[in-house]
Structure 1
Amino acid sequence: MNEFEELLNSVGDVKVGDVVSGEILTVEGDQATVAIVGTGVEGVLTLRELTNERDADINDFVKAGEVKELLVVKQIVGKESEGANVYLLSEKRLAARKAFADLEGKEGEVVTVKVLKDVKGGLSVDFNGVRGFIPASMIDTYFVRDTKKFVGEEFDAKIIEVNAAEKRFILSRRAVIEEESKAQRAEAFANLHEGDIVEGTVARTTDFGAFINLGGVDGLVHVTELAHGRVKKPSDVVKVGETVQVKVLKVDEEAGRVSLSLKATQPGPWDDIDEKAPVGSVLDGTVKRITDFGAFVEIFPGVEGLVHISQISWERVENAKDVLSVGQAVQVKVLDVKPAEERISLSIKALTEAPARKERSNDSGNAAQGGQRRDAKPRAPRRNTKPEYTLPETQEGFSLADFLGDDFDINNF
């Protein structure tokens, strides 16, 4: 057999899917010319078949004279081959094949992956040359809208499914986070006790409060526990990412709930209220609420006192809304302070001068009669109920004869 026949026979020894040894002949641009050792056949190795990094330099991966183990991807037909048998070779795909083989049966294991790009429905990641996929629902414990922020990052993910035949490689970052959170959660609940003052980070805010990350567990600060005053929006009081001190109100490990209070760690508006608003002091306030029995006036943030309807004006007030309105600025005088009950009695009318009492007017006819009313009747003299008797001055006693006189004769009886 001559040399030409041996060359033809050697071509048949190279098949798509084979793993061959290739010697780098030349490197030009983003590809290298490779001689498949022992065959007399050449191949092409491009930068794309060496790495997933698009901006990489091919010279960092191959050098002339270097021998590499490569995978035969396909036979190149066209102008590039110029009629010769040239094959596209790949180092990256060979690594992926080996990695897939190594991954089979390793579902459940945690590996470190690098995010290549965000794709429809999730993230495309790389692990040892194997292209994997993390669905959007498996990126985090909550739905992630902006997946682009993960591109270029490296993190741990749990292997969910491996199918080398279908080149299917599914992973979950969420599973890793949940397992870590479970361990942290157990530790956090073990260290949380009612009454504790702890530090946390505002994780998110809602209409009904703010969730605080305590390191393994999120606790809720209800909107009523955010501040001593009235809170319209929790985001007005705390911001996401802010570090806060909170008091533990209740721990329910079975339900996985922790109730917290932010206002309990802050000075109360009623502290030293008897010094800030002593009886008799005059303060500026704002009408906050109006009821049937009066109006509540805020004199300090979180401190409201009651102006009873009888203390609004010296004139009779049927309805407090007829005189006051919510949001109105008023001056009030402190009548009474009960710090323990958090009650303050206030007065508006006490700051105004009481009107003079009107005297009863008499008409001229009555004046002529000495002040008596025209239709008044003279009072009848008091009637004596018992007869009046005058005793003799010279006698200590008296007899029946003293009353009958000469008409009295004992013989007539």
Structure 2
Amino acid sequence: MLTVAGLRSYSVEDEEEEKALQAFEEKIDGEDESDKEANKLNVEYYEPKPGDVVVGVVVSGDENKLDIDMGADLLATMLTKEVLRLYDKEMEFLDLNKDAESFMVNGKMGLVKYDNAVCDGPGPGQPIVETGTVLFAEVLGRRLGGRPLLTTRRLFRWLAWHRVRQIKRLNEPIEVRVSEWNTGGLLTRIEGLRAFLPKGELLNRANNFTEWKEYVGCRIFVQITRIVEAKNDVILSERRAWEMLYLREGTLLDGTVTKIFPFGAQIRIGDTNRCGLLHVSNITRARVTSVSDLLVVGEKVKVLVVKSNFPNKISLSIADLESVPGLFISNKEKVFSEAKIMAKKYRQKLPVIKGVARPLPAPVPRSECAPTTDLPFDKESSMYANWKWFKFERE
């Protein structure tokens, strides 16, 4: 009896403990569920608005569209036609086979192909760019299913104009490749934007259609002279670029005597149609009785660009290439053979003005270079509406 009673007493106590434990666990589970619900309610998503500029990561896609995560409650959609087309015919005129390090030199402009991200074109079931690619885009709105719709076209156009304005402010010659021609001049592209080089701004004018066609595919240095974004105008000049590159004081040039004057000689520079004056006082440091005794029309010479006393005039010198005064009269060949050394010595004597590399461009009307957007391109954290939803790390 005692044994049975003892067993019954133990069973009742055990049952009560189990009930208490079960009640406690249910309470804990209930609190966990409440916490989960609360956490769900506290999750913040980026709310896309039409016109927002955003950054996103490609998570999937096919030949028709890309699925992009940009921190919103739903993945965004970008149709293939809204992706900046990196496989059009224009790419024939870009340096796709150059690596970034060798391409990043002064005066170089264009796009460098990144093989790990950019495809030659969409294949069956394949997206135009690979998963993990970071894209910058503009929100167009939402699709019927609620997913945001994105485009890169307008944003990249804004960025292109921003870069062109930067290039113009730098006032530096840049190298471009001629893609087309017409009777008014040549066409090329800078940052993907069409740019026009009027025939009056060419260093050597073309005289017939054959000469115009020969320009296509050629590389030339140009300088941006005018920008009117509202009219899609980017105007170039080859003459100004050439002057900035080759008419600096101390530059050694090859030339040809084209005319003889009592006061000097006219020298055609290289293969261009530009000419400079070689004054009689700059032919040699010795006394000159007659210019025609020292130079003849058609003679090839080496000349040094020197400071001109007249604006917009090219002044040249041979006298500054003489290692000994009067050497040009007795030994022309020696003067020309020592020309590089003497030109270097001349440049070393030029005064160095700190902080001033070259004359600044003349101010232009505000309407010519006024941007059509007020996006803060130089401050990404405020430019992109969903920036705080991303964390960027270096590999």
Q: TM-score range by the shorter chain?
A: 0.3 to 0.5
Return the structure number with greater helix share.
2
Tell me the TM-score normalized by structure 2: 0.38
Tell me the TM-score normalized by structure 1: 0.37
Higher relative contact order (CA 8 A, sep 6+): 2
